[in-house]
């Protein structure tokens, strides 16, 4: 089954079960690229790190969550692309459905890819050019970008591992910059960046 077919089935199932429709209409911003990090208590807790690219959200599951500490590389398993407006989803995914559990919007905002020129990182702030830079980065297995979120800010990289961890294994790495925070641990900042709710609050709703 292709990625889009899997997701179509997933959303059809949601509708059949009459889960309240959490998705807004498609609201692509022509001037910005967006990202979201959804904290997801499924069978195992993980953080779904999603970057807008070409009308979808590229996705990686980060078991330990992102960090602002450059000395800690986080395993990030590439997962299925998600629809762009899935980034607004916060709430419960019912039992028996793919990803059953609870989701909070741990962080969200805009991002820009970066290129390095003479050892200096530069943000590509035109969406059209940005998507071209991202395309090359995806093929190469190395994305560099600057996040402007509520919890996370600064320069990061996602780098495909050279085989260890399987073919979907990448590493999420914070570059050294003025936003670096030694010892930053996602679990110390548990609340939704959007509603200030915890996973427990949402599970109880
Ligand atoms: Mn997930």
Length, in residues, of the chain? 205
pLDDT for the residue 164: 86
**Exposure letters 174-189 (e unless 16+ CB within 10 A, then b):** bbeeebbeeebebeee
Q: Which tens digits make up the pLDDT trace of 98-115? A: 889 999 999 999 999 999
CA angle 35, 41, 47 (to 5 degrees): 30
> How many A from CA of 205 to the centre of ligand 1?
20
> How many A from CA of 40 to the centre of ligand 1?
5
CA distance 174 to 145: 10
> How many A from CA of 122 to the centre of ligand 1?
31
> How many A from CA of 89 to the centre of ligand 1?
12
> How many A from CA of 45 to the centre of ligand 1?
8
pLDDT(50) > 90: yes
How far from the centroid of its chain's Cα atoms is residue 183's Cα? 21
Band (pLDDT 50/70/90 cuts) for residue 22 is very low
> How many A from CA of 46 to the centre of ligand 1?
6
> How many A from CA of 142 to the centre of ligand 1?
22
Q: Which tens digits make up the pLDDT trace of 147-179? A: 999 999 999 999 999 888 899 999 999 999 999
pLDDT for the residue 94: 87
Q: Which tens digits make up the pLDDT trace of 122-150? A: 999 999 999 999 999 999 999 999 999 99
Report residues near ion ligand 1: CB below 5 Å: 40, 48
CA distance 112 to 128: 11
Q: Which tens digits make up the pLDDT trace of 60-94? A: 999 999 999 999 999 999 999 998 989 999 999 98
pLDDT(10) > 60: no
Phi and psi at residue 62, to the nearest 5°: -110, 105
């Amino acid at each position: 089954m292709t990625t889009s077919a899997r997701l179509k089935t997933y959303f059809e199932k949601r509708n059949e079960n009459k889960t309240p429709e959490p998705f807004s209409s498609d609201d692509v911003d022509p001037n910005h690229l967006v990202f979201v990090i959804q904290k997801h208590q499924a069978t195992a807790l993980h953080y779904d790190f999603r970057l807008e690219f070409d009308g979808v959200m590229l996705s990686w599951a980060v078991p330990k969550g992102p960090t602002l500490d450059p000395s800690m590389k986080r395993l990030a398993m590439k997962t299925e692309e998600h629809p762009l407006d899935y980034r607004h989803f916060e709430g419960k995914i019912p039992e028996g459905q793919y990803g059953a559990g609870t989701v909070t919007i741990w962080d969200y905002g805009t991002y820009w890819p970066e290129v390095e020129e003479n050892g200096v990182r530069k943000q590509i702030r035109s969406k059209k050019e940005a998507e071209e830079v991202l395309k090359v980065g995806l093929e190469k297995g190395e994305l560099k970008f600057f996040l402007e979120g509520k919890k996370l800010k600064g320069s990061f990289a996602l780098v495909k591992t050279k085989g260890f961890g399987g073919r979907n294994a990448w590493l999420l790495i914070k570059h050294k910059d003025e936003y670096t925070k030694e010892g930053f641990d996602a679990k110390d900042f548990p609340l939704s960046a959007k509603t200030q709710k915890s996973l427990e609050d949402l599970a109880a709703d």
